[in-house]
Structure 1
Amino acid sequence: MDDIKQKRSLDLYATTVVAFIFGALLLIGADLPDNLRWSLLFAGIGFLLLRVALAAHQEERFLDRSDYDRHPISDALRTAREVWIFAPVGTNFLTNERCEMLRRGALARNDGTVRIVTLRLFDENDPIAAQLDALLDHPVQAAAASMREIRNRLEAMSRWQVSGDFAYGEIPFNPGFSIVAIDPQSPRGFANVEFHGFRNDTIGSRMHIHLTRADGQWFKYWLEQFEEIWRTTQSAGTHTPIE
């Protein structure tokens, strides 16, 4: 029933129902034309072969950041109406180029929304700074310095004169993952969830999963995780759209 509620594999269920109906008719001795019987047989075989082929070519869900090179997320940002981002530091994702895409994309729309959450600003002596610095074997910048950079960037974005809604907030702890959701409420929306691990060789070696509405409960679960994070934000900055 969950598959039907989530509209997953409806073609498979429909074909199964038809097969059972015609199987029952044959079992009770219904006189079906031979051409109809053969058509159903070959249609069923063809459908099964198609399902096998699709399963063999199913989109890879377990990825690293090299996937952003093969499928640039910039393409989705340019056309997005709603963007949710939780990134403990954020400097790797919220580059100048991508922030500009947000300005020209979702924030240029009257119905556009961008929400961003990071960790709260801390100094070099904060234990969270040491924790974040330990995530990489070869960091190019201390986490505290990166946080100051991203805070300045978010404050600047909150002053933009744009049509969409922009807001950002902070949380005081690191849950060990990050989320980027593009148009999460739309049928074609998706969410990338990245797991930080410990002592990664580089940022690019971190694992992330790509989720869509077809993933049902797990897609919903990670969207709710972002909503929970948003509800606990501290010192959120907001922007009032231009009229």
Structure 2
Amino acid sequence: MRALRRIASDVKARKNIEAYVITCVAGAFAVVSVVEDVVPISLKWAALLSGVGLLVYRLTIPDERDQKADFLHDRAAFDSVPIPVAFANARDVRIFAPSAVNLLSAHTCEVLRTSVLTRKGGSVRVIILDAREREAVSIASRQLDESVRFQVQRLPAALETMSERLKTMLGWQVSGSFDYRLFPYNPGFSLVIIDPETTHGRVIMEIHGYRNQSTFARMHLELTPERSERWYSHWIEQFEHLWEAAVTPNSGPVLRRASGDAGEARD
């Protein structure tokens, strides 16, 4: 009964129709072939070759389960191709994260300096939370720190560390361009975008969620133009919206009114 339900479900969804047709034809030929000469030998060979051809064809189709899971990861999945290695061959890197302290380690920053930023036209843009937005940082800390069972760092301290690191990087004398901005609140995700205007571009989105086992257990989505042109473009646009709304480090924090009116600088 389970097999019949699965077949009925497949037929309703128009899946594996060719396999069922060939199976029915081959089964019918097998039954009538019990009586000799009822089915011409040419038809028997046609059914046999059709079945073999279908089997060979289906070997070339990627497993749907593997295909669905191919872009769903946690941070451990990127150990096979570490982010610093991906940065080493890039020309355009865009990052948004609450603190980016896990991503932009001293080693990763050095990789950016000796690769992307050595290239004329190379570009690195980073957005982190604005530490001056104390209420927003406090709320983000409750989500990212207090809700994680095995936390190893705290957001306010991480922001302080990263702010100093980014200020130092801003003073580098390099061929490429480096810039960073500050965003007033945490929208609940992080982004790493590598060479988005190329055919080999990648968008890695991390969903922060709530009550994670650890920072490294958060769900990651890896998008490419081939996997989904729509969502690939969507998240690239999301970064640009964030960049436009973020402020430069030297400007004051922005007070955003609940009414949606334009903000004004705080004292």
TM-score bucket of the superposed structures, by smaller chain: 0.7 to 0.9
Number of aligned residue pairs: give it. Answer: 198
Q: Which has the higher contact order (CA 8 A, sep 6+)?
A: 1
Output one character per residue of 1:92-150: Cα deviation in whole Å (capped at 9) or x when no partner: 11100100111011101001010100010148x63522432334233323211110100
Q: Which of 130, 154, 177 is the equivalent residue of 1:120?
A: 130
Q: Which amino acid aligns with 2:102?
A: N
Output one character per residue of 1:8-67: Cα deviation in whole Å (capped at 9) or x when no partner: xxxxxxxxxxxxxxxxxxxxxxxxxxxxx9xxx78887544312x465653611110111
User: What is the SS of the residue equivalent to 1:235?
Assistant: coil
User: What is the SS of the residue equivalent to 2:196?
Assistant: coil
Name the structure 2 match of 1:230: 243
- Give aligned-pair identity as a percent: 35
Determine if the alignment matches structure 1 residue 153 to structure 2 residue 165.
yes
Shift of 1:216: 1.1
Determine if the alignment matches structure 1 residue 110 to structure 2 residue 120.
yes
Query: Is the Cα–Cα contact under 8 Å of residues 79 and 105 in structure 1 kept in the other structure?
Result: yes
Determine if the alignment matches structure 1 residue 201 to structure 2 residue 213.
yes
Query: Is the Cα–Cα contact under 8 Å of residues 167 and 236 in structure 1 kept in the other structure?
Result: no
Distance 1:208 1:56 in 2: 17
Q: Which amino acid aligns with 1:158?
A: L
Q: Which of 204, 208, 219 is the equivalent residue of 2:232?
A: 219
Name the structure 1 match of 2:184: 172
Query: Is the Cα–Cα contact under 8 Å of residues 137 and 156 in structure 2 kept in the other structure?
Result: no
Distance 1:189 1:102 in 2: 17
The alpha-carbon distance between structure 1 residues 98 and 145, as it changes in their structure 2 partners (threshold 3 A), is same
Larger Rg: 2
Name the structure 2 match of 1:29: none
Under a length normalisation based on structure 1, what TM-score does the superposition of the two structures give?
A: 0.74
Query: Is the Cα–Cα contact under 8 Å of residues 122 and 147 in structure 1 kept in the other structure?
Result: no
Name the structure 1 match of 2:258: none
User: What is the SS of the residue equivalent to 1:186?
Assistant: coil
Q: Which amino acid aligns with 1:120?
A: D
The alpha-carbon distance between structure 1 residues 138 and 122, as it changes in their structure 2 partners (threshold 3 A), is farther
Distance 1:57 1:201 in 2: 25
Distance 1:57 1:208 in 2: 16
Under a length normalisation based on structure 2, what TM-score does the superposition of the two structures give?
A: 0.68
Alignment root-mean-square deviation, CA: 2.4
The alpha-carbon distance between structure 1 residues 139 and 48, as it changes in their structure 2 partners (threshold 3 A), is closer
Unaligned runs of 5+ in 2: 1-45, 251-267
Name the structure 1 match of 2:196: 184
Query: Is the Cα–Cα contact under 8 Å of residues 134 and 198 in structure 1 kept in the other structure?
Result: no
Q: Which amino acid aligns with 1:234?
A: V
Output one character per residue of 1:154-187: Cα deviation in whole Å (capped at 9) or x when no partner: 0000000100011100110100000001111110
Distance 1:201 1:56 in 2: 25
Q: Which amino acid aligns with 2:234?
A: Y
Determine if the alignment matches structure 1 residue 162 to structure 2 residue 171.
no
Q: Which amino acid aligns with 2:129?
A: L
Output one character per residue of 1:175-200: Cα deviation in whole Å (capped at 9) or x when no partner: 00000011111100101000001121
Q: Which amino acid aligns with 1:202?
A: S
Name the structure 2 match of 1:60: 70
Shift of 1:90: 0.9
